[in-house]
Every structure is written in C-alpha cells, then in structure tokens.
Amino acid sequence: MAKIVKRKKGKKSLKTLTFSVTLFLFSALLYLASSLFLRSYNNELSSRKQQITSEIAVLETQNDAIEVEISQLASAERVDEIAANNGMTRNQDAIITITGETTESGE
C-alpha cells in the first residue's frame, strides 16, 4: 500500500508541475505580446506627435505673416492715403482721445 500512495503523490505533483510550466509559458507569451504591442503603439504616438508639432510650427508661421499683413492694412498712413485718393481729409477737431487714467477726485 505504501507504493500506491507514492504513485498518487507523484502523479499529483507531475500535474501541478505541468500546470505551473504551462501557466508560466502562457504568461511569458502574453508579456511578450503586450510588450511588442505597447512598443509599436508608443512609436505610432511619437510619430503622430512629431507630425502635429510640425503642423503647429507651420500654422504659427502663417499666423505671424497674417498679423503683419493686418497691421500693414490697418496702419494710419494707409487709411489716410485711401481717404486722400477719395477726396477726404482728416478733421483733427473731431478726434477724441480717451485715456485710462483717473483724477484724484475719483472721476
């Protein structure tokens, strides 16, 4: 009877060992697959970030050019020139300047 008990323990430990090795190999395979997926996803995000950064740089350059054009179109000299071409003049008496300063009395 002692031999039968040893055989049962041997089969049980062999099943446990087989299960453990199988679980370990499955875990290693999942780790490898997730590592490869995360690496490729990280590379994709990095390239997308570089593309967006370059697009931002292009748009900032365009915005600067547009701001310069706006300031040129809105300059007082240009407005005076267009008015003079149409026979208009600037009336200095009609110009009112408002400042943000207040007087001592609080008005």
2 within some domain: no
What's the confidence (pLDDT) of residue 1?
A: 47
Of 26 and 9, the one with more pLDDT: 26
Question: Residue 24 is part of which domain span?
Answer: 7-86
pLDDT tens digits, residue range 31-82? Answer: 999 999 999 999 999 999 999 999 999 999 999 999 999 999 888 888 888 8
27: in domain:
yes
pTM of the model: 0.51
Is the residue at 1 inside a domain?
no
78 Cβ contact partners less than 8 Å away, ≥ 6 residues apart: 72
| Residue 99 maps to a domain | no
Q: Is 103 inside any structural domain? A: no
Q: Identify residue 34 by its one-letter amino acid code.
A: S
Q: Can you tell me the distance from the alpha carbon of 103 to that of 14, in angstroms, rounded to the nearest whole number?
A: 97
**Count: domains in the chain:** 1
Which residue from 35, 54, 55 is spatially nearest to 43, judged by alpha carbons?
Answer: 35
Q: Is residue 91 part of a domain?
A: no
